[in-house]
Structure 1
Amino acid sequence: MSKTSAVNGNLIGIMGGIILSTDSVFIRLMAVDNSWLIVVLRGLLMWAVVFTVWLLVPKSRSVLGVPWITRQNLLSVLFFCASSACFVNALNRGNIATVLVIISSTPFVSAIISRIFFAVKIDRSLMIAALVGMVGVVIVMAGRQSGVDASANYFALATAICMALAFIFASKVENGTLALPSLGGILASIVVPIFAGAGLLPAISALQPQQWLWLTIEGALIIPVAMGLISLSTRYVAPANAGLFLLLETALAPLWIYLFLHEAPTINAVIGGCIIIIAVVSQTLQAKKQAAIAL
């Protein structure tokens, strides 16, 4: 893996992280109480968009990969599926900032799994950036009220673990990886109704036009683009580094919540968010510096 590729991977991942940070706003705007309904509909929308692009733009296929499950991408798709279901349930059940704080442990989870089970050497600058980022996470957490629903915390932790594993296995897929999150989404759309029962159909018919609008924006644009870019970054950077981009959501989501929903973040969220952003940007600049030295 060249130093220049690492820089490109960081830039791709940062772009994905910034876009992903708006996700919580749209989930709030949907005002849909049934989390499983959101999982099903956004999974269908994600996959429909990716498949349409794959079908109509042949040149995109080298980046997208195939819009169906194969033996090579199966593990990554399974974990993207689980993370999608857990993420929506976590956001719908608990405090957004606290949920995102827990999910931001993904870089550590990814680094530990990669090191222990796959003998992957983790760059020291990456680990330092992750540690600094987690300091920001702790500051954000300290400024939030206690009493978060325990189930939300469990869903958030499961999201972090599944996301880390999804990135690890995505990095092992030889062809395009941008479609992998959408494949996880469509798999969730197939599996969830089996367990959720027949209650989903009445819930779909009860959705209002404005709810459909936010669902479409989130499912057909925000998630496939954001997760696709972060997944794509694993072709150029370590999976643990890809997890680092998720910290941007922890940093920026309170800002979007404030701007669009008028919920002011605490001073701790502002300070911690700034630290997280500095950690991610510093890691990118370090990769760029190393690339310049190598030339």
Structure 2
Amino acid sequence: MNRNTVVNGNLIGILGGIILSTDSLFIRLMAVDNSWLIVVLRGVLMWAVMFAVWGLWPKSRAVLGVPWITRQNLLPALFFCAASACFVNALNRGNIATVLVIISSTPFVSAIISRLFFATKIDRSLMGAAMVGMLGVVIVMTGRQSGYDGSANYFALATAVCMALAFIFASRVEQGTLALPSLGGVLASVVVSLFAGSGLVTPLLALHAGQWGWLVIEGALIIPVAMGLISLSTRYVPPANAGLFLLLETALAPLWIYLFLQQAPTLHAVVGGGIIIMAVISQTLRVKKQAAIAL
């Protein structure tokens, strides 16, 4: 892996992280109380978009991969499936800042799993950036509010673990990986539908036009593009590095919530978010500088 591809991988991942940071806003704008209904609908929308692109634009297939389960993509699809279900439940049940703080532990989880189970060498600068980013996370956490469903924390932790494993196994897929999050999303839709059955019919029929609009934007555009870009970045950077891009959501989501819902972030969130952004930018600039020296 040469330096230029690493730089490109970081830029791809940062773009994905910025887009992903709006996800929390759209889920709140939906105002859909049934979290499992959101999982089902957005999973179907994600996969439908990717399948349409795969079918109508043959040149994209090398980057997308196949929109169905194979022996090679099974594991990352399964973990993206679990992450999708857990993330929606965490965000719909708990405080946004707290949930995102827990999920932002993904880089550490990914690094530890990669090191312990796959003997992957972790770059010191990457671990340093993760440490600085987690300092921002700690600052955000000290300003969290009380009065939310405690189960959200467990869903958030499960999301972090599943995302870390999804990135690790996605980096080992030889073909395209852009469609993997969408494949995991539709798999979550199938699993939830099988267990929920007719229990989703009533809340589905109760959705109004505005809610459908936010669902389509989030499920057919935001998530496929954001998670696809972050998944694609694992072809060029270590999986643990890809986890750093999720920290951008922790930093930026409170800003979008404030701008569109007038819910002001705490001072802790602003300061911690700034530190997180600087950690990601500094790691990217360092890699870019090394690439320039190597030329």
Counterpart in 2 of 1:67? 67
In structure 2, how many angstroms separate the alpha carbons of the residues matched to 1:128 and 1:239? Answer: 15
In structure 1, how many angstroms separate the alpha carbons of the residues matched to 2:151 and 2:66? Answer: 35
Asked whether the equivalents of residues 95 and 145 of structure 2 are also in contact (C-alpha less than 8 Å), the reply is no
Counterpart in 2 of 1:214? 214
Counterpart in 1 of 2:115? 115
Following superposition, the deviation at residue 148 of structure 1 comes to 3.6
* Other structure's SS at 2:36 match: helix
Counterpart in 1 of 2:42? 42
Following superposition, the deviation at residue 147 of structure 1 comes to 4.2
Counterpart in 2 of 1:29? 29
Counterpart in 2 of 1:223? 223
Provide Cα deviations, 1:23-55, integer angstroms capped at 9, x if missing partner. Answer: 000000000000000000000000000000000
In structure 2, how many angstroms separate the alpha carbons of the residues matched to 1:152 and 1:197? Answer: 23
Provide Cα deviations, 1:243-281, integer angstroms capped at 9, x if missing partner. Answer: 000000000000000000000001110000000000000
* Other structure's SS at 1:143 match: coil
Following superposition, the deviation at residue 97 of structure 1 comes to 0.5
Tell me which amino acid in the other structure corresponds to 1:62: A
1:95 corresponds to 2:106: no
In structure 2, how many angstroms separate the alpha carbons of the residues matched to 1:38 and 1:144? Answer: 25
Provide Cα deviations, 1:43-99, integer angstroms capped at 9, x if missing partner. Answer: 000000000000000111111011111000000000000000000000000000000
Following superposition, the deviation at residue 149 of structure 1 comes to 2.0
Tell me which amino acid in the other structure corresponds to 1:58: P
In structure 2, how many angstroms separate the alpha carbons of the residues matched to 1:184 and 1:286? Answer: 33
Following superposition, the deviation at residue 156 of structure 1 comes to 0.1
In structure 2, how many angstroms separate the alpha carbons of the residues matched to 1:203 and 1:145? Answer: 29
Provide TM-score, normalisation by structure 1.
Answer: 0.99
Following superposition, the deviation at residue 146 of structure 1 comes to 3.2
In structure 1, how many angstroms separate the alpha carbons of the residues matched to 2:147 and 2:44? Answer: 34
Superposed counterparts of 1:85-234, under 5 Å: 85-234=85-234
Counterpart in 1 of 2:247? 247
Give RMSD over aligned pairs: 0.6
Counterpart in 2 of 1:81? 81
Structure 2 unaligned blocks of 5 or more: none
Provide TM-score, normalisation by structure 2.
Answer: 0.99
Structure 1 unaligned blocks of 5 or more: none
